[in-house]
Structure 1
Amino acid sequence: MNNLKITCVIVDDEPMALNLVEGYVVKTPFLELKKKCSNAIVAMEFIKNNPIDLLFLDIQMPDLTGLEFSKMLPKDTRVIFTTAFDQYAIESFKVEALDYLLKPFDYAEFLAAANKARTWISLVKRKQQTIFSKEKEFLFVKSEYKQLRIVLSDVLYFEGLKDYIKIWLKDNPKPILTLMSLKSLQEELPETQFLRVHKSFIVSLKNIEMIERSQIIINDKRITVSEQYKPKFLEFVNKNSFNT
């Protein structure tokens, strides 16, 4: 986790404040700026499709305040409030903000808050992250307060369900449920064995029984290959096809 990059978004309706925080983020090696927004509505639309670790968020903004916006965020997105008003401090901690920077703040104050966020996010990701073996023959996943050993060759497919993943195994009618994002899982799985074919599915390539049009059949389950993932899937099919 020493090389952990924390993805972040800045939201502030004051251009000078927006640019100041952007400069601080850019000079902080472990922060990765994904977007800066002048209002919460734009930020909300971006975060819907782009998971973010950390939000630097102003409180007093038109249309939607920072406090209101913070209550709508995914639970894995944490907040550091940046505001000129100290009367919101108690309210900010009620919404579990990681820190509260009172404007004007300097880089030292910003860095202290960012380091606090890095410590917290690192701990959370350690807890959520599946422990994978170096050989990628098996993995351990946390399920119902236990660490279960999953042999990768037994996996039929992974199904994403909001913040959870269902792991469907051979000869097991019920899936194993674990708290983890499909994106994080995809980064760790061996590409030669598994392929993401849909926003909600990663399939075991060796367990594909049939391909019919744009659908994969595994253990009587039909999984549609979405347009986004079709090129890579077709590449796999072409490499493994024998045409007479």
Structure 2
Amino acid sequence: METLILSCVIVDDEPMALNLVESYVNKTPFLNLIKKCSSAIEAMEYLQNETVDLLFLDIQMPDLTGLEFSKMIPKQTRIIFTTAFDQYALEGFKVEALDYLLKPFDYAEFLTAANKARTWFNLLKGSSQDQVKKASTDKKEFLFVKSEYKQLRIKLADVQYFEGLKDYIKIWLKDNSKPILTLMSLKSLEEELPKDDFMRVHRSFIVSLKNIEVVERSQIIINKQRITVSEQYKPKFLEFINQNSLSN
């Protein structure tokens, strides 16, 4: 059975608490820590460009509290609150937190909460199988993108890869020596692309899986362009490679 790995971010303004939760995450096989943040503002900036499954989120922090921040995160990111103040429990469940850990908590309590998250995501994955099958027969074949005051029709089959550049995206197409430039975030684009045809492999790159020519160590080669697969996206990419490799 395929092992589900959850990407997670820890947010806490206390260094000792941050390090403790990090140690718990690192000893939990189905959790993959991709970022530690010492404030909700830092986490908010990070999540503008990255997709995360799970947040371990402190509540009482300066400038922006965990409860305030929880109302701003994407719906696909779930929360486990960590706090020293039990009066926030009701508010935590009002924002649909998966669990609520009261400091100081030990690894057994942490693991119970983490397992709740794993169960939730496994159920979500199972319930979406029929939707995935339907999507495969009703897949997007093109997108309209705005470039130079025009709406251009882009055939997804012609896309080799997308390259993020701050607020812009370069769209590299087959048989085109110059990219199409459009004002858009890579995260917004990622949500619109067919998941079985395109994969984000780096903070700045989404590649067409069908147009990968060579995989060499941690790099993908498409039309002589080398694209590094970053550590955050490597597990998912390696899973794709393994699923499509001939067994020895």
Which of 132, 149, 153 does residue 137 from structure 2 map onto? Answer: 149
- d(CA) in 1 for partners of 2:67, 2:101: 14
Letter in 1 for 2:66: G
Alignment pair present for 1:124 and 2:90: no
Render the CA deviation track for 1:110-131: whole Å, top value 9, x for unaligned. 0000000011122223444687
Are 1:197 and 1:233, in contact at CA under 8 Å, matched by a contact in 2?
A: no
The amino acid of 1:25's aligned partner reads: V
Q: For the Cα contact (< 8 Å) 2:78–2:97, is it kept in 1?
A: yes
Post-superposition offset of 1:104: 0.8
Structure 2 residue ranges without an equivalent (≥5): 146-152, 182-203, 208-219, 226-248
- Distance across 1 between alignment mates of 2:154 and 2:48: 30
Alignment of 1:45-194 (within 5 A): 45-128=45-128, 140-142=133-135, 149-150=137-138, 156-157=141-142
What whole-Å deviation, never above 9, does each CA across 1:43-74 have from its counterpart, x for those lacking one?
11111111110000000000000000000001
Per the TM alignment, residue 158 of structure 1 is displaced from its structure 2 partner at its CA by 6.1
Cα displacement (A) at 1:141: 3.1
Q: TM-score with structure 1 length normalisation? A: 0.61
In structure 2, the partner of 1:196 is 161
Does structure 2 conserve the Cα–Cα contact (< 8 Å) formed by 1:7 and 1:31?
yes
In structure 2, what residue type is equivalent to 1:111?
Answer: L
For each residue in 1:70-94, what CA deviation from the matched residue of structure 2 results, as whole angstroms up to 9, or x when unmatched?
Answer: 0000111110000011111111011
Task: Pick closer, same or farther for the CA change 1:55–1:197 going to 2, 3 Å.
Answer: same
1:235 alignment counterpart: 224
The answer to whether the 8 A contact 2:143-2:154 is kept is: no
Are 2:12 and 2:58, in contact at CA under 8 Å, matched by a contact in 1?
yes
**More displaced 10-residue stretch of structure 1: 42-51 or 77-86:** 42-51
Does structure 2 conserve the Cα–Cα contact (< 8 Å) formed by 1:40 and 1:66? yes
Q: What is the CA deviation profile of residues 176-221 of structure 1, one whole-angstrom value per residue up to 9, with x for unaligned ones?
A: xxxxxxxxxxxxxxxx997333568999x8xx6x6363249xxxxx
Question: Residue 171 of structure 2 contacts residue 179 of structure 2 at CA under 8 Å; is this kept in 1?
Answer: no
Q: Secondary structure at the match of 1:80?
A: strand
Q: Tell me if the contact between 1:195 and 1:233 (Cα under 8 Å) persists in the aligned partners.
A: yes
Q: 1:41–1:129: structure 2 CA closer, same or farther, 3 Å change rule?
A: farther
1:99 is aligned with what amino acid? D
User: Gaps (5+ residues) in structure 1?
Assistant: 132-138, 143-147, 161-167, 171-191, 217-226, 237-244
Structure with the greater alpha carbon radius of gyration: 1
Structure 1 residues 159 and 20: CA distance shift in structure 2, 3 A: farther
Distance change (3 Å), C-alpha of 1:159 and 1:87: farther
Could you say if the C-alpha distance between residues 229 and 125 of structure 1 is closer, same or farther in structure 2, counting changes exceeding 3 Å?
Answer: closer
The aligned residue for residue 42 of structure 1 is 42
Q: Aligned-pair distance for 1:15?
A: 1.1
Q: State percent identity of aligned pairs.
A: 58
Question: Are the equivalent residues in 1 in contact too, given 2:8–2:55 (CA < 8 A)?
Answer: yes
Query: Could you say what secondary structure the match of 1:73 adopts?
Result: coil
Match in the other structure for 2:192: none
Retained in 1: the 8 A contact 2:6–2:32?
yes
Aligned in 2, Cα 1:228/1:10: closer, same or farther, shift over 3 Å? closer
Q: Which residue of 2 aligns with 1:16?
A: 16
Aligned residues: 179
State the Cα distance separating 1:150 from its structure 2 match: 4.5
Amino acid at match of 2:110: F
Could you tell me which amino acid in structure 1 is paired with residue 134 of structure 2?
A: V
- How has the CA–CA distance of structure 1 residues 214 and 123 changed in structure 2, closer, same or farther, with 3 Å as cutoff? same
Question: In the alignment, residue 12 of structure 1 is paired with which amino acid?
Answer: D
- 8 Å contact from structure 2 (residues 170, 180) kept in 1: no
